[in-house]
Amino acid sequence: MKIIVGLGNPGKKYSENRHNIGFKVVDQLACKYKVKLKRTIRQKAWLGELKIDFDSFLLVKPKTYMNNSGLCVGRVLAKYKVPRQDLLVVYDDVDLNLGTLRIKKSGSSGGHKGIASIIDILGTKEINRLRVGVGRPTFGRGGPNRPLTDFVLSNFSSEEKKQLKEVIKEAAEISLKWFEDRQEKTIKIS
């Protein structure tokens, strides 16, 4: 079994935020493959199992808020006895432009509180991750001095939404295919 965790914040208030792009990628997979995500109390998550040919993927959306994502990830890995190498975490990255996807096998949190929580709970920076670019604030979106927390908790602009659907679709497909070659790569979606 492989595990794909999409990071985000639970609740309608946050559903369209940049910070919830990981949730949107998992939702895309669940929708495309008709997987029902079910709430679990113990794992603090919504979980759903996806089977494609002989592969099995556990789709995970933590019910914890972003800053406590590690609690959920740690519990899911322990319950399903899946090695860390078979985990892929999908989350937003302000250091990448919208339309850029980057897969890495390890690294620091880069200031992202969700991945920092996972690093802390798992005790390692060697965590496979798919970073989905959401860009940084510009003059047209509140200025370059806008706090990043405000920016990631804001919704995408109508202009960005035109590109967002394709970005989420591509990120979902890449998250499944990555387990075949496990290569670090950067993908730009035009």
For the domain made up of 2-188, the CATH class stated in words is alpha beta
- Mean pLDDT value of segment 159-175: 95
pLDDT band at residue 145 using 50, 70 and 90 as cut-offs: low
CA 62 to chain CA mean position, Å: 10
The one catalytic residue in 19, 24, 113, 131 is 19
pLDDT at 44 over 60: yes
- Mean pLDDT value of segment 50-69: 96
Per-residue model confidence as pLDDT tens digits over 99-111: 999 999 999 999 9
Q: Is 112 a catalytic residue?
A: no
Give the three-class secondary structure for 189.
coil
Per-residue model confidence as pLDDT tens digits over 12-27: 999 999 999 999 999 9
Going from N- to C-terminal start, the domains of the chain cover 2-188
pLDDT of residue 170: 97
Q: Which residue has the tokens 């979980």?
A: 47
- Mean pLDDT value of segment 144-167: 88
pLDDT of residue 136: 82
- What predicted TM-score, i.e. pTM, was given to this entire model? 0.94
pLDDT at 32 over 90: yes
The answer to whether 88 and 3 have CB atoms below 8 angstroms apart is yes
pLDDT at 5 over 60: yes
**Residues near 129 by beta carbon (within 8 Å), at least 6 away in sequence:** 88, 89, 90, 91, 103, 104, 105, 107, 115
pLDDT of residue 148: 82
pLDDT at 168 over 80: yes
DSSP 30-95: HHHTTPPPEEETTTTEEEEEEEETTEEEEEEEESS-GGGHHHHHHHHHHHHT--GGGEEEEEEETT
Identify the CA nearest to 155 among candidates 65, 21, 26, 63. 21
